[in-house]
Amino acid sequence: MGTPTLNNLKTTSTLQEFISANKQTEFLLQSIGIPTDSYQEKSLLQICIEKKWNEKELLSWLRKQASRRQEKRETEIIDFNELDRKQLLQYYKKISNRLNLIINEFELDFHRVCKVHGVQYPILKEMHWHLDKISEKVRYDLMMTDKTITPLLKSSNTGSNSILYGEAKKYERSINLVVQDQHQIANHIQKIEKMNPHPDEIEGSCGTIKTAFQDMNELFSEIEIFFELLRNGVIPNLNEALNRD
């Protein structure tokens, strides 16, 4: 009988079974303060009872994040500078769709955390303000680049390598705005990091707070991958095509 998949495991499964099913769960469990070495024989349910966490919520989070971390690892080993326009389009769609999904889910989760704990811990509200600004700018950049970059990357699939003047001007304006937004987004992220937020400092912090903080770190990492794709892959490729035309 083969090793069960993560989706086959239940809250009564042990941490050892989770780690055997998907190695990503070891990092995820450690990231929210669960020492996997000493807890391997305990079930997820036992740990959640001890910590007064919601075991079903934690199980759902592990499944979702383990899958995403695997996708992310596959993206991280790619040298975007070596891709042609067709390949860049494929990765652009994959990364932008994933980022859009993550930011939508995270916004709802952090709003819930802020609503429950924001009065007692005002730092959460301050962080929420910066996160709203980040979400707003990232969404705008995703929309703008999709309208201007996607058509240019698609041109190689239609047998045309030349870029029309009107498309080039729209692309240049879009990239200038994206570069500006990238700096502003980085500034908001730095301000959050300077607050030195740590869920363990919040007395009686629940599993929801811990997973939300880890999701925030993952969101920042996904944002960086998106801008890295533009910076090291898409922009150099299209700029070269523009200069050639």
| Whether residue 100 is found in the same domain as residue 188 | yes
| Whether residue 2 is found in the same domain as residue 119 | no
The DSSP letter of residue 43 is: B
What does pLDDT average to over the chain?
A: 85
Q: What is the pLDDT of residues 76-86, one digit of tens each?
A: 778 888 888 88
| Whether residue 15 is found in the same domain as residue 96 | no
Which among 69, 72, 66, 73 has a CA at the least distance from the CA of 19?
66
CATH of the domain at 205: 1.20.58
Residue 193 has pLDDT above 60, yes or no: yes
pLDDT for position 75: 72
| Whether residue 72 is found in the same domain as residue 109 | no
The DSSP letter of residue 42 is: S
Weakest-pLDDT range from 9-13, 60-64, 203-207, 216-220: 203-207
**Rounded to two decimals, what is the model's pTM?**
0.84
Weakest-pLDDT range from 66-75, 94-103, 143-152, 186-195: 66-75
| Whether residue 118 is found in the same domain as residue 20 | no
- Residue that terminates a domain, selected from 48, 77, 106: 77
| Whether residue 132 is found in the same domain as residue 168 | yes
| Whether residue 53 is found in the same domain as residue 170 | no
- Residue that terminates a domain, selected from 77, 104, 139: 77
- pLDDT bracket for residue 129 (50, 70, 90): very high
Which among 154, 179, 166, 207 has a CA at the least distance from the CA of 29?
207
Q: How far apart are CA 67 and CA 244, in angstroms?
A: 41
Sequence length of the chain is 245
pLDDT for position 1: 44
- Which residues are CB-contacts of 49 (< 8 A; sequence separation ≥ 6)? 55
pLDDT for position 71: 77
| Whether residue 52 is found in the same domain as residue 110 | no
Count of domains in the chain? 2
- Give the bridge partners for 43, in sequence order: 14
Q: What mean pLDDT comes out for the span 201-213?
A: 72
- Which residues are CB-contacts of 41 (< 8 A; sequence separation ≥ 6)? 14, 15, 16
- pLDDT bracket for residue 140 (50, 70, 90): very high
- Which residues are CB-contacts of 89 (< 8 A; sequence separation ≥ 6)? 150, 153, 154, 156, 157
| Whether residue 133 is found in the same domain as residue 177 | yes
pLDDT for position 56: 93
Strand ranges inside the chain, DSSP E: none
- Residue that terminates a domain, selected from 50, 77, 104: 77
Q: How far apart are CA 211 and CA 65, in angstroms?
A: 10
| Whether residue 108 is found in the same domain as residue 93 | yes
Burial label for 12, CB within 10 Å (0-12, 13-18, 19+), is exposed
1-to-4, 5, 163 alpha-carbon distances in Å: 9, 12, 56
Q: Which domain holds residue 38?
A: 1-77
| Whether residue 243 is found in the same domain as residue 198 | yes
